[in-house]
Amino acid sequence: MERSAVSARIRLPHPICPSRHFPSLQSPFLFPSSHSLSLKLSQNHVPLTSLNLLEAPSPLNPSATLSDTYSETVDLADIEWDNLGFGLQPTDYMYVMKCAQGGTFSKGELQRFGNIELNPSAGILNYGQGLFEGLKAYRKQDGNILLFRPEENGLRMQVGAERMCMPSPTVEQFVEAVKDTVLANKRWVPPPGKGSLYIRPLLMGSGPVLGLAPSPEYTFLIYVSPVGNYFKEGLAPINLIVESELHRATPGGTGGVKTIGNYAAVLKAQSEAKAKGYSDVLYLDCVHKRYLEEVSSCNIFVVKGNVISTPAIKGTILPGITRKSIIDVARSQGFQVEERFVSVDELLDADEVFCTGTAVVVSPVGSITYLGKRVSYGDGIGVVSQQLYTVLTRLQMGLSADEMNWTVELR
């Protein structure tokens, strides 16, 4: 089958929650005619049942089944939803939009998911001129789909693009592209409580360039995959080792933006840590080698009494959207949150430690190993970690009222 064939034109309707700031553009996109009938875009959703929300699939009751929530069959992909890990599951469609250096993005389209073609001298391949984002979509009990703060990802991509000398989609273009991609792949959004649809927007220098210079062409691409837990432990304590010699980022570098090179740089320390049985690596600052920065792909929080401390955003730490959300949630729950330099000594003396990120949401830390010394934090999930995880995930899944105005609902 020709994966890039294009013939039948259809429209993707996506009315959203009226409280959001981004109007639906109703943009037409092209689909292969052989798939236009099998991709069900009609919204035959079921009213919310009279079940108590805690009886439905949720962080508090993940064992609930689809039949507990739906009164009729929902169109879903035929995969084992109970066994989702955090790995790539090819889906139906991806979104592609291009622009030239100095130009603006326009005329994006949905294409069948598959390989892409790049010139060997593409800027992304030779000089690492690229960014990515990560966000999730969740299915509600009524069949509708929720996105979590997509405009924040669009804003962060713009900041990163400026640092990497790349043009970027507008926030509205970003959000509309995310919505269109999710709706085109809606059968891959897991049932409530079974996981989420991970959304990966990419921005890359796709044009050929031999000398060191910005690429002459750029591609914005979004693909998606249904996922379960990031760490194999699930919502269970993970074990971290503090890395004191290798560093994730340096002052004046690109640690504060989501550029692809930041992640390749952590693979050596992470691989060595996992070979020793640790879940991941916690990095220190490269100047003093005593202040916490972040885990390979997560922000870090330290709890002492009613005070929750996290390293301040100062150019070497990624401004995580889950981090930002947890800070607001924690304050709404009565905690005092401090963004400041946090020393490794405070980490070792903490009552509780947890990580945050799009992939992990909130991940409690069971132990920290530093210079051969192991410090454990209780026997299970910390009370604060559990509380914040529950509040945030219930909001993300539509199980509680969105008083923060953070979700975008696709009907």
The Cα 110–Cα 97 span in angstroms is: 9
- Residue 61: what residue type? N
Handedness of CA 258, 264, 265, 270 (dihedral sign): positive
- Residue at token pair 């640690």: 255
3-state secondary structure of 168: coil
The Cα 130–Cα 204 span in angstroms is: 4
Q: Whats the size of the chain, residue-wise?
A: 411
Which two tokens mark 203?
A: 């921005």
Maximum separation of any 2 CA atoms in the chain, in Å: 64
| All residues at 6 or more sequence positions from 111 whose CB lies less than 8 Å from its CB, including other chains | 3, 4, 6, 30, 93, 94, 95, 96
Which two tokens mark 56?
A: 């439905």
Which two tokens mark 52?
A: 């108590």
Which two tokens mark 225?
A: 């995959």
Q: Which of 136, 140, 194, 258 is catalytic?
A: 258
Active site residue 258: yes
Catalytic residue positions? Answer: 258
